[in-house]
Structure formats: structure tokens, C-alpha cells
Amino acid sequence: MRRVIGFLVLAVILIGIAFGIGALPGEIGATVGSWTIQAPLPLVVVAAVILFLVLYFLLRLLALLLGAPGRFGRSRHERQLRQGDRAVTRAFAAIAAADPRAARREAQRARRLLPNAPMALLVSAEAARLAGKPDESEADYRALSEQPDAAFLGLRGLLRQALDARDWTLAADVARRAELAHPGAAWLRSERARLALRTGSWAEALALAGPEAPRAVMATAAAEAAGDPIQALRLAKDAFAADPKLAPAALAYARRLRAAREARKAENVIEKAWAAQPHPDLAAFYLDPVTDPLERVREAERLAGFNRNHGESNFLQAQVCLAAKLTGEARRYAQAALAAGLDQRRLWVLKADIEEADAAAGGGEGATFAAHEALRRSQTARPDPRWRCSTCGAEPGEWHAACPSCGTVGRMEWTDRTAPASGVAANGAANGTITLLPGAVT
């Protein structure tokens, strides 16, 4: 109703204006040269209005025609974006469904529609990977890693590729770049720690390792691998402080100290280590500079004093006494070692040597018989202690930070056991386990 009233009012106004114009008196004339035009004023007003309207619509039409290509381009671009997004989604869905053909088709479509979009590159790389085309996948990841906002995604893909290809050096390099692109990512830290172990970069592995890692073992390995003597000394000191029972750590520290002409400090370290957990290698290092047999007896006595009742202390004293031809003392210490529980093959062999030395010095048939008896007992005694991986049971002959057989870090124990792998860390090593090789127990 309002509209009708409004229309009627407008019509009345327009009619009024038309009448007003029609009622205007007078004429307008123009003379150009010999030409004279004359027209009534209402006609001139109407002609002017019509001319204005025609010009206005002509200009609008011109603007519309000039702007058409831009508008067309914009709508085409938007349509392309929408189609590209759909292709990316479909490609991801195909990857999730492990359908390499569909994934590749949609990923290629996405790349065509969105040539430089990070998502298109990512889905293309993932689809190529799924289809078993590592070269194409790597090229896409590499292109992605050069995009400032998506670099981490590309580097993560490259890292995975390098790990699959077991190219540890490349993987470590990519991981370092990924760390710069996105500092502090937790999975990256653990990945870098594993890679550092694989590439033998013990110092880096130590810096990246969590509190559960066997730090004394890793620091010992880092000290042994360090080229700089000062850094090596610091690492060995840390290793010994972290676990004084770990003989290789004590030895690494003491060796560095002796090399730095700190002989007394080196002895001190060995004495502390002996008090914590005696080991034949500690004694060998301690007595190494001493050549005189009787002097060696005195030095051994001093070291044994730091762990008087341990079978290893008695065994050491028996050895040096025999070397100094003090067979009576040697026999007494060997007996004490046995009483302390050191019922091992090496002790019975030593006892046989003591008796043979006694027999050679005129000990008579009794000594010879005792030597034979000791040798016989050595056949049934427990085996000698040796380094043994508590995870896989491998016995590599010497201590290793990482088991050469199963790759587990910090699981070498000095033991005379022959039982199956126990999984219990020895020498006070931390319970956390790091493996270098796939398939090992973690």
C-alpha cells in the first residue's frame, strides 16, 4: 500500500515537473555563421536531460567493457583455488586410504592448479613417497623446505627420507636445519640424539639426551672420541662424577689426568673407583708406572686398602705377590679371594701357578699335587668376568658404550654370569636405554 502511495506521489511530482517545464515561456536561439537555430525552452530542457542520460549510460557501458577481463580473471583464479583445495583434500584422503594411484592423480592435479602452494607440494611429496618414488618425493620436499613458512614440513620429510635410506650423515644435517626452522620440537630432539649416536657424535648425543639416558657411558664415549684434550678431560671428569663405579669412565678420566702430568690426581681417581667397584683394568693402570716387583706389591697393597674385603683386592695382591716370588703371601691372598666369593677360573689358575712356583722352589710333591688339583678345579669353576651386553648377551671382548651387536647404549656389564641377558644395567648405569640399531629392545 505504501509503495502504491509512494508511486502515486512520485507520478504527481513528475507530472507537475513536466507541466512546469511545458509551461516555461520563451525560446532559445543559437547562431553559428549563417545558421540560426531556434527552439522553445521546454523542448531544449527535455533534450538536455535526454542527452545527459545517454552520455551517462554510454560512459557506464565503456567502464563495464574495460573492467571485464580483470573480473573474469579473478573469478577464474578463485575457481582454480577452490578446485585445487578439493584436489589437495582428495589426495590426502587417498594417502590415508593407502591408494597411491588416486593420491598421485589428485596430487598432480593439485600441483597444476596450485603450482607453488605448500599444501600442494606436501601432498605431492607424500603421494610420490607412497607410490615408491623417492626421487620425486625428495624434489618436492626440497622445494617445500625452501618456502619460509613451510620449511619445517619439507625438512621433516627430507629427514624421514634420509632415515629410510640410512644416510645418517645427511639425516643429521637435515635435522640440524629443521631445528633452526622450528626450535625445540620434542620429537626432533630425540631424533637428533639417535642420529648423533649413529654417527658417533657422542658429545652431541650427550647434549641432546634426556635425564634418563646413561650419561656416564655417553660422556665416557664422548671423552674417548674428543680431539681436544681439555674437552676430553672435562667430559671424562663428568663421566666419572656421574658414575664412579663405571671403570671405563674412571680410566678415561685418570688417563687424561696422567697425560696432563697430574699423576697423583690420576691415582686418586683410581683409588676412588676401586673403593666404589674394583676392576682389573683399574689395577693395571694404577700399577703400570711401577716396574719393581716389591714396589708393585706395596702399590697393590695401597690400592687394595681402599676396598680391603673385596675378592678383587685379594686377587690383585695374590698376583703381585706371586710375581715378587712371595708365594706364601700369594697363597694367603688367593685363599682370601676365594673366601670372598671369587670362585672363578682365573683364581684357580693363579693358585696352580702359585703351587707350581712353590714346587719349583723345592716345595716337593705336595706342591705339585696342589697345582694339579687347582688346575682340575679351574675346569669346573665359574668363568672369568668379561664385558657382556645385558640386553642381547653379546661378549665383544672389550667395553663399548653401545653394544656392537644390538646397538643398545649403556648395557655393557662386567660379569662372570653366563645366564641369558637379564636386561639389568650394570656398573650403576642409568635405567634409560638408547638403541642404535632398529629392532633392538628400547
Contact residues for Zn ion, defined by CB under 5 A: 389, 391-392, 394, 403, 405-406
Residue 327 and residue 354: Cα distance in Å, rounded?
Answer: 6
DSSP-assigned letter for residue 330 = H
Q: How far is the CB of 207 from Zn ion (least distance, A)?
A: 25
Q: How far is the CB of 362 from Zn ion (least distance, A)?
A: 50
* H helix count then E strand count, the chain: 19, 6
The residue among 242 and 403 lying less far from Zn ion, judged by its C-beta, is 403
Helix, strand, coil fractions of the chain, as percent rounded to 5: 70, 5, 25
Residue 435 and residue 172: Cα distance in Å, rounded?
Answer: 16
Residue 127 and residue 108: Cα distance in Å, rounded?
Answer: 9
Q: How far is the CB of 268 from Zn ion (least distance, A)?
A: 33
The residue among 91 and 401 lying less far from Zn ion, judged by its C-beta, is 401
Residue 430 and residue 433: Cα distance in Å, rounded?
Answer: 8
End-to-end CA distance of the chain: give it in Å, rounded: 85
The residue among 202 and 240 lying less far from Zn ion, judged by its C-beta, is 202
Of 201, 282, 207, the residue nearest 238 (C-alpha): 207
Q: How far is the CB of 435 from Zn ion (least distance, A)?
A: 9
Q: Which three cell numbers stand for residue 113?
A: 592448479
Q: Are 81 and 97 in contact (CB under 8 A)?
A: no
Q: How far is the CB of 426 from Zn ion (least distance, A)?
A: 13
Q: Which three cell numbers stand for residue 308?
A: 680391603
The C-alpha angle 109, 113, 116, rounded to 5 degrees, equals: 110
The residue among 323 and 392 lying less far from Zn ion, judged by its C-beta, is 392
The residue among 226 and 403 lying less far from Zn ion, judged by its C-beta, is 403
The residue among 107 and 403 lying less far from Zn ion, judged by its C-beta, is 403
The residue among 338 and 403 lying less far from Zn ion, judged by its C-beta, is 403
Q: How far is the CB of 302 from Zn ion (least distance, A)?
A: 37
Q: How far is the CB of 377 from Zn ion (least distance, A)?
A: 32
